[in-house]
Chains A and B, each alone.
Chain A
């Protein structure tokens, strides 16, 4: 069969961790010859609706994107182009006839990386640097914090938001400040934090993407997001003609392979690793549910 036409609309550049995962999954599908793939990056919200319509008008079979700040408009456009399938990042539910949603539900691996961090910290201070305090970020940070305190009730957290998605020098400074305050593990929500950890020779926790190769000996553990389960299902559904306005969010769960937990066993304590692995199994078996908490995390020091 001919490859289906897929377009993606990103409100940030494709290098941004989040979007890079979607981009990666789509590129893989393209490489397999299932789809043709084109994207617009850094699209301002003002322009988002026009871009959606343009892709729809161009006869795209599937449009992938982030509806977070343009929820209403995105749903309206989708309703007007019933022949195009829309798969949008969204905090809300799907909508008939063609508006499916997804989100980065990797709170589970975040909890696990929190367990590793909690048992690895010597100073009992963990620094966390985020971009903006939005639910998608808060959720993971809260799960991480919960995981850490579950193994180490004494651990304290420093939380800073730098109010930018891409200002690594600033993120790095925020991280340095935390090291000055005694943090010996840094939660790297943004680019720049792991660099600070590496420079100060302490450990960092990765988020969404695996950067262990870039910072050998620094990344203690990571919670990874994989868009392939989501994208592949959606693409197959479009090809089959069976695309439904469903919530693809769960495909980011660990049980579907949408989220995964990695730990550098050379850096982490063996007991901690086995505890986390046990918890991982519980999660996979559906015996343990990680709480979803979208409220803004605060420093506890």
Chain B
């Protein structure tokens, strides 16, 4: 018991939680933006992979770290555009298009990586983002190490949460996104293009998702591995529902998940000798389901989610 409190009260633990949460924050914010506009984006797992590969590859080819971030975002936007074209004007099933995009983005990333680097026996590395040591702030007692020894991408993620909330609730575009996810005809009857709003949103959301992948190869680690996304994208889909499609709750959800994961790793070394490790690994998923049952069920989801819109058709 004491041990558990010790863990929860240590700044390093919370620093780890935030670090683990960072790719999830990007992912859930991206997924949330897409779904707010009425488009479920199951391409996320592939978009993560594409972002991880493209961002890393760009840096490796000499683009510089922020150049890599930009390239990752563009890669995400590219696959987002495919998903957007398939699901918005063409109105195809969002489930199957998303899974198709995941397949496509993943295999294309792998294929490009392998074809470009056929002879590596150990993954080539880049100089990744380093934690920012912000002079005064990082010296603060608990908060300092937890919050201010993170890499720039973590701060970007936190900023994106704020920016997304502001965008959704305070700007004309945000209103349009919310409306198009609820009732597309409300948007069309006000002279806006449903397709433009939805496609733009999906493309932008996918670009944000890709940053989650980029974080893995450019911040959490410094090389690209096959399969390294490891289901993180799917988690974000779950977190989106958990968050009731709200940016603030999305941040909390991602942090909770990160905390579970960080906690799980620490607890495993404590009692791992008599409890199977898999039980710990299950914990975040089980708790997510439990949270859904007790917290987030019956959230008012975007009513037009999954429903394609065709102009002039009934």
Task: Please list the residues of chain A having a beta carbon within 8 angstroms of any beta carbon in chain B.
Answer: 12-15, 17, 20, 23-24, 27, 41-42, 127, 133, 158-161, 163-170, 172-174, 176-178, 180-181, 191-192, 195, 209, 211, 214, 298-301
Contact = CB atoms under 8 A, between A and B. Distances in A.
Contacts of A165: 227
Contact of A23 (B121, B125, B223): B121
B269 A195 contact: no
A182 B156 CA distance: 31
B16 A159 contact: no
Interface string B217-229: 0001111011110
Contacts of A168: 220-221, 223, 225, 228
A166 B227 contact: yes
Contact of B20 (A17, A173, A191, A299): A173
Given A176-B12, A299-B270, A166 B225 contact: yes
B203 interface: no
Nearest to A130: B277
B123 A191 contact: yes
B228 A24 contact: no
Contacts of B269: 127, 158-160, 177-178, 181, 299, 301
Given A159-B272, A160-B265, A192 B277 contact: no
A173 B122 contact: no
B216 interface: yes
A173 B19 contact: yes
Nearest to B11: A180
Contact of B12 (A42, A164, A180, A300): A180
Contact of B16 (A27, A158, A177, A300): A177
A169 B262 CA distance: 12
A170 B277 contact: no
A163 B266 CA distance: 15
Contacts of B112: none
Contacts of B221: 168-169, 172, 191-192, 195
Category for how many chain B residues contact A: 35 or more
A181 B266 contact: yes
Contacts of B189: none
A180 B15 CA distance: 11
Given A14-B120, A160-B268, A169-B20, 8 more contacts: A15-B121, A15-B122, A163-B277, A174-B268, A180-B10, A181-B266, A209-B122, A211-B122
Contact of A169 (B12, B114, B220, B227): B220
B225 A191 contact: yes
Contact of B262 (A15, A177, A192, A209): A177
Interface string B248-292: 000000000000011001101110110001100100000000000
Given A168-B221, A170-B230, A177 B125 contact: no
B195 interface: no
B13 interface: yes
30 contacts: A12-B226, A15-B122, A15-B226, A27-B119, A160-B265, A160-B269, A161-B268, A164-B230, A165-B227, A166-B225, A166-B226, A166-B227, A166-B228, A168-B221, A168-B228, A169-B20, A169-B23, A169-B228, A173-B261, A173-B265, A176-B16, A177-B16, A177-B262, A180-B12, A191-B221, A191-B225, A195-B222, A209-B122, A299-B268, A301-B270
Contact of A299 (B12, B13, B121, B272): B272
